[in-house]
Amino acid sequence: MIDVAILGSTGIVGQRFVSILSNHPFFRIKEVFASKNNSGKSYIDAVDWMLDFEIPEDIKNLKIKSIEEGIISKVVFSALPKEVSYEIEDILSKEGHFIFSNSSSHRYDKFVPILVPEVNIDHIEAVKYQNRKGFIITNPNCTTSGIAITLKPILENFGLKKVLVVSMQSISGAGLYGISSMKIIDNIIPYIENEEEKIEIETRKILGKFSENGFYPNKFDIEARCNRVPIRDGHMIVLFIETIEKVKVSDIIEAMENFVGEPQKLNLPLAPKKPIKVFNKNDRPQNILDVNLDKGMVVSVGRIKESSFFTFTITSLVHNTIRGAAGASVLNAEAAFKLNYLRI
Amino acid sequence: MIDVAILGSTGIVGQRFVSILSNHPFFRIKEVFASKNNSGKSYIDAVDWMLDFEIPEDIKNLKIKSIEEGIISKVVFSALPKEVSYEIEDILSKEGHFIFSNSSSHRYDKFVPILVPEVNIDHIEAVKYQNRKGFIITNPNCTTSGIAITLKPILENFGLKKVLVVSMQSISGAGLYGISSMKIIDNIIPYIENEEEKIEIETRKILGKFSENGFYPNKFDIEARCNRVPIRDGHMIVLFIETIEKVKVSDIIEAMENFVGEPQKLNLPLAPKKPIKVFNKNDRPQNILDVNLDKGMVVSVGRIKESSFFTFTITSLVHNTIRGAAGASVLNAEAAFKLNYLRI
Amino acid sequence: MIDVAILGSTGIVGQRFVSILSNHPFFRIKEVFASKNNSGKSYIDAVDWMLDFEIPEDIKNLKIKSIEEGIISKVVFSALPKEVSYEIEDILSKEGHFIFSNSSSHRYDKFVPILVPEVNIDHIEAVKYQNRKGFIITNPNCTTSGIAITLKPILENFGLKKVLVVSMQSISGAGLYGISSMKIIDNIIPYIENEEEKIEIETRKILGKFSENGFYPNKFDIEARCNRVPIRDGHMIVLFIETIEKVKVSDIIEAMENFVGEPQKLNLPLAPKKPIKVFNKNDRPQNILDVNLDKGMVVSVGRIKESSFFTFTITSLVHNTIRGAAGASVLNAEAAFKLNYLRI
Amino acid sequence: MIDVAILGSTGIVGQRFVSILSNHPFFRIKEVFASKNNSGKSYIDAVDWMLDFEIPEDIKNLKIKSIEEGIISKVVFSALPKEVSYEIEDILSKEGHFIFSNSSSHRYDKFVPILVPEVNIDHIEAVKYQNRKGFIITNPNCTTSGIAITLKPILENFGLKKVLVVSMQSISGAGLYGISSMKIIDNIIPYIENEEEKIEIETRKILGKFSENGFYPNKFDIEARCNRVPIRDGHMIVLFIETIEKVKVSDIIEAMENFVGEPQKLNLPLAPKKPIKVFNKNDRPQNILDVNLDKGMVVSVGRIKESSFFTFTITSLVHNTIRGAAGASVLNAEAAFKLNYLRI
């Protein structure tokens, strides 16, 4: 059992880290960090717990630490806000910690992979070039997680030329206090700050190549339009995709259904049985029905049809705080462990 | 003052007809129709009123008629369900009634215009070829209303090649009992039956030409993906548009802002000051803020930007039961009246 | 393993029966019933599944039967609508079936218990007087389930004189198609048909005595006001309670926390560890946090305070389709099994 | 026309002040105040406008002032947050300003009335004893507004002994950024800080007597339990009321329907035709249907029935930011103007 620390353990993503890492077969939560004013409190007193089950018993009374007090665990899960994550993750990784970060701050660094183990497990090698005693491995933005997994079997089998994305994103993506209820109940907001840029950059990096000179983003074009809707969990993503090869809808469906990745082969604890669940009923996927399937780690897709302007269209649903955040980081750590990247 | 009848007067669209036509400068509600089992009741007793103001005083006690009892008013507004509208509208128009219909059943008939007066007022001439004593004029599907108005200044100024649509549609579009609350609260449904087909067919017909041989749909390509979201009113529509001419975003904005149509020139009572309101703030339009602007008759647009795959992208918001339904029919009737098509 | 049948297996409560009875240590789902038009279909094709996990594998392909085809299983769980439940349950129980019914139709019969095993397990004896080869055991109305469990430790320890109830009830209480989304999104409806009467009658029967002459309802007075709010799951109930004995808030809390019932003593599979969870934070219980605790079988209470007009006030939350419906029936069957009432 | 200033003009209540006072027959908005960091901006740039119509044209370009810059208008409407309102309102009123405040900070002062003109117009005399060049007149807490108006005809006709209140309150009551969407979508929070105390104190003061020695609160007992529900506008209030005299439900209804207050007699511009609208349909009032009736100034009531423990029960709905906040203040100012309290 490897001791781990959680940075930003009291936020929405931090709480997901706690729930996923509690009773984990590889990892044991040793330290929970939060902002200074919570330091010294027990986790149960510091957290504004938002999940519909109880805080795991063994975590309730863990004492909250602040980063100034130092960190013992070598393996660190980070749900830090962007404002502070860059520096803290940089220092800790240089000191020898293995950082699995949900923050965007290092995602675009030269040798930091944005890892989705089903998609680009080979990118993990980049950490060897980080010139740190430890390393930083990031996972993508929540929406990008769903997109990258959806695109992988398409890219592999038919090649990718163009990807157009229109998303309908849930409120949990903005964090515990991110969106006032007055702003979103009975409303749509047709914009999410920086989200479209993140999707456009990260998707290409994830689906690109890594060499010792850095990452070579895939060259397909991608454009995104992101919208906020009054839903608690799950980002629904309408995609229009142009492939390099000619392809029929039945080929697409077959490629999606046959897709398995490294986590499935390595039998990682948090890996879904299959990365993608294909629905052929017109009215699926749906948030209330499908977002929690297979521990919230599966990407559900449906409405696969030929498109007038692209090769085909598809609608994907991803659990934004599990597959798109904490679950993604934990799966990365599981992969790193199995592949012997956690030299502890 | 012209006496008018409302068919299907107790549904969501019927109620909007009642509210818009009450105190109208041209029209006076003379008859309200509903299904047989309500026949003889006063309107207030028959209707399950859903608007946030009172039923107009002069309508409250109008007796509900059933279509079997016959209809006196020459001008008829129809919010009939599709199952019965084809035949009833057909018969009444042959008998000499002027039908302004929100139903889809006659929209694709050879000489029935789908009229949006800002867009294709000349199509009204088609009624002369209907070979009926009266006529049928339809308005488009709710989402199509917003799309056609958005596209008109683009088509006129720069030409249209391709239009891609992804919509997020409110529940009122499905009628008073259309969607169970268990199906949509906290949920997205990525499909609306027949909606995509309607958009694809109607938009081209509206933006096409009419000659004495019938309608020639415009030849641009169009594809739509429609989603239901838990919002009461307003359909939000993300559009990607390819123009024939090269064009800059500033040109688009200018064309939109300068756009006025026939209703504005004719000073029709229900016409919005301008058909389109352009927002330049990133987070607009929004349902709770913009759907009711200018009596719910204006189409609000925002997020106009260059696109990678198309010329530009734009997000439009339309009030689905006003601009997209009852208001659309009434505006058609106002135009018909001013242009002397109501020979009563 | 005892074979069981589920009547009304495709509705909201029917689906909860399926999910709770699948992999049950005592019972095995042998037959699933639904209306005639679904007869012969596999369960997966007939049901409009609404839960956020998959239909259990072994149930997916069970063939739907209609009641006319006959029923083999002795143990029957009924989620039939009121219109048909009276007669069907009557006939089946006379033929020797053991009916565990969520329907209200027999709840007020002379020898039919409304059983809540933590509250009135001794009422189960009533089935001996039913003069049927089998029997009918009902569980209470969803809101009443929460009320009866909340009141039990109060009644036992301090006696009950008066109970005032104001409820805020979720939409799932009205079934899959019970409430149109247009009626409830962003709205409160201050009335639920027959609900107040059910609460007033059932609570007294449950908390009353059974003798061979029938049930003697408890004599405390009770009054209820029920409201519908736009929430998916969980009924929140504000109670004002007058006890016979004088009592302090600390006594109430102690009585609630110490309360265990027969299901806990018998270690029934679906029994929550404790029937009641007491919160002392002012802002609890909450639906999104507490409704699913302990398999949805625990009643969460909070805001226990002295009252000006009653002895004290308390707010209770019950999962209406689990503790208040399917879970209640299953717990009744578990108790009946352990107490040897299922003579099969 | 009297020039007026609005303090806290950019919040939810401030925006309601702007919308109600624009085009007012007595008052003209001369100054709009907000926090220092907005000082100098035009109103349209400073405000995060949340209403579903446009900012009034003449207000859009008013320059935001900060209180440090001084205030010219004698008549001041205050929507200041509690933290700063006490001192600012105190100073301004001493300097000669007439303050109509929605803040709670002075509500309990010895000579400051909590004025509801339909209920206690005579309390306005208290301002003569304030020993200020100007005065402070407050309006009640939003929920209390609805309660006080509901109780007035009961008190007057039958006397009041006991009032029990259970409320279901909308999110706008907590201000623009008061409640995170993650906290309330699909949820009920069974507690609102300080709300129950405010209701209990304010209702008695409003319905009490004023003499030159101060206010004598009415002696009826009152107890409240407040809940937050995911609704945009309108507080729904279930009341149980014990009268001094015996009374039938028909008497209650008659008293409510006959009730008119001073604003109706004085024909004040914002006064509703009648203060109370009585519904006899079981499922009314409802937020989406009734909250905006008569400019949002009418209190809608329904479900009037005999009660077991009290004389009767009734459900009231009040528009919390209009009748319960900005509209209440403006009606107070209209009354003060008509009664010659604004000696300018």
> What is the rounded (10 degree) CA torsion for B9, B14, B15, B19?
-100
Give me the mean pLDDT over the D36-54 stretch.
Answer: 96
Q: Which residues of C touch D186 (CB under 8 A)?
A: 230-232, 287-288
Minimum CA–CA partner of C177 in chain B: B180
**What pLDDT is recorded for position C343?**
81
- Asked if the model's pLDDT at residue B34 lies above 80, the reply is yes
Mutate to test the interface with C, among B182, B231, B287 (most CBs of C within 10 A): B182
Q: Which helix (H) or strand (E) holds C302?
A: strand C299-306
Give pTM, 2 decimals: 0.97
Name the H helices within chain B: 12-21, 43-46, 57-60, 82-94, 117-120, 142-158, 181-184, 195-206, 249-258, 262-265, 287-290, 293-296, 327-338
Instruction: Identify which of D58, D60, D63 has the alpha carbon closest to the alpha carbon of residue D41.
Output: D63
Q: Which helix (H) or strand (E) holds C331?
A: helix C327-338
Give me the mean pLDDT over the C1-8 stretch.
Answer: 97
Mutate to test the interface with C, among D225, D278, D299, D305 (most CBs of C within 10 A): D225
Radius of gyration (C-alpha) of chain A in whole angstroms: 19
Give me the mean pLDDT over the A51-77 stretch.
Answer: 97
Copy the structure tokens of residue B134. Answer: 């009266």
Do D174 and D226 meet the contact criterion of CB atoms below 8 Å apart?
no
Burial C36-74 (b: 16+ CB within 10 A, else e): eebbeeebeebbebbeeebbeeebeebebbebeeebebb
Residue D277's pLDDT band (cuts 50, 70, 90): very high
CA distance A186 to chain D (A): 8
Copy the structure tokens of residue B243. Answer: 């123009």
pLDDT tens for A2-18 read 999 999 999 999 999 99
| Single-letter residue type at D17 | F
- What is the pairing mode between strands C312-318 and D2-7? unpaired
Give me the mean pLDDT over the A157-171 stretch.
Answer: 98
Burial A168-206 (b: 16+ CB within 10 A, else e): bbbbbbbbbebbbbbbbbbbbbbbbeebbebbbbbbbbb
User: Quick check: D50 and B290 CB within 8 A?
Assistant: no
pLDDT tens for C146-164 read 999 999 999 999 999 999 9
Copy the structure tokens of residue C168. Answer: 């805020």
**What pLDDT is recorded for position B185?**
98
Instruction: Identify which of D58, B185, B41 has the alpha carbon closest to the alpha carbon of residue C228.
Output: B185
Evaluate whether ipTM surpasses 0.95.
yes
Separation CA D195–CA C314 (nearest Å): 17
pLDDT tens for C234-278 read 999 999 999 999 999 999 999 999 999 999 999 999 999 999 999
Residue C20's pLDDT band (cuts 50, 70, 90): very high
Mutate to test the interface with B, among D233, D289, D292 (most CBs of B within 10 A): D289
Residue A104's pLDDT band (cuts 50, 70, 90): very high
pLDDT tens for A14-62 read 999 999 999 999 999 999 999 999 999 999 999 999 999 999 999 999 9
Using DSSP's 3-state secondary structure scheme, residue B344 falls into coil
Give me the mean pLDDT over the A106-128 stretch.
Answer: 98
* Count of C-beta atoms within a 10 Å radius of residue A244: 13
Whole-number average pLDDT of chain C: 97
If interface means Cβ-Cβ distance under 8 Å, which residues of chain A face chain C? 49-54, 185-186, 232, 288-293
Which of B162, B284, B308 lies nearest to residue A309, judging by beta carbons?
B162
Whole-number average pLDDT of chain B: 97
Residue with structure tokens 């009866």?
C148
Which of C185, C292, C293 lies nearest to residue A186, judging by beta carbons?
C185
Instruction: Identify which of A145, A139, A137 has the alpha carbon closest to the alpha carbon of residue A75.
Output: A137
Residue with structure tokens 């009572």?
B269
Q: Which residues of D touch B54 (CB under 8 A)?
A: 293
- Asked if the model's pLDDT at residue A344 lies above 80, the reply is no
Residue B318's pLDDT band (cuts 50, 70, 90): very high
Separation CA A162–CA D101 (nearest Å): 58
Torsions phi, psi of A17, nearest 5? -55, -50
Q: Which residues of B touch C185 (CB under 8 A)?
A: 171, 181, 184-185, 230-232
- Asked if the model's pLDDT at residue A84 lies above 80, the reply is yes
Residue D343's pLDDT band (cuts 50, 70, 90): confident
Do A63 and A69 meet the contact criterion of CB atoms below 8 Å apart?
no
Diameter of chain C by CA atoms?
A: 60
Q: Which residues of D touch C283 (CB under 8 A)?
A: 189-191
- Asked if the model's pLDDT at residue A185 lies above 90, the reply is yes
Question: Is residue A106 flagged as an active site residue?
Answer: no
> What is the rounded (10 degree) CA torsion for C192, C194, C196, C200?
-160
pLDDT tens for B156-169 read 999 999 999 999 99
- Asked if the model's pLDDT at residue C316 lies above 80, the reply is yes
**What pLDDT is recorded for position A178?**
95
Q: Which helix (H) or strand (E) holds A157?
A: helix A142-158
CA distance D332 to chain A (A): 27
pLDDT tens for C287-296 read 999 999 999 9
- Asked if the model's pLDDT at residue D344 lies above 90, the reply is no
Separation CA D81–CA D174 (nearest Å): 11
User: Quick check: A179 and D181 CB within 8 A?
Assistant: yes
* Count of C-beta atoms within a 10 Å radius of residue D157: 17
Residues of B with active-site annotation: 142, 235
**Residues in contact with D48: Cβ distance below 8 Å, sequence separation at least 6, in sequence order:** D10, D176
**What pLDDT is recorded for position C241?**
98
Give me the mean pLDDT over the B111-131 stretch.
Answer: 98
Name D300's bridge partners. Answer: D277, D317
- Asked if the model's pLDDT at residue C344 lies above 80, the reply is no
Q: Which residues of D touch C302 (CB under 8 A)?
A: 190
Report the Cα B68 to chain-centroid distance in Å: 27
Going by the DSSP 8-state scheme, the letter that residue A42 receives in this structure is B
**What pLDDT is recorded for position B343?**
81
Minimum CA–CA partner of D52 in chain A: A187
Environment class of residue C250 by beta-carbon count within 10 Å: exposed (0-12), middle (13-18) or buried (19+)?
exposed
**What pLDDT is recorded for position D266?**
97
Report the Cα D43 to chain-centroid distance in Å: 24
User: Quick check: B186 and C232 CB within 8 A?
Assistant: yes
Strands of A39-190, DSSP E: 64-65, 75-78, 98-101, 135-138, 160-169
DSSP output for D234-290: -EEEEEEEEESS---HHHHHHHHHH---HHHHTT-TT--SSSEEE--STT---HHHH
Q: Which helix (H) or strand (E) holds B4?
A: strand B2-7
Separation CA B259–CA D323 (nearest Å): 40
Count the alpha carbons within 13 Å of A47 in the hemisphere toward its beta carbon: 31
Whole-number average pLDDT of chain A: 97
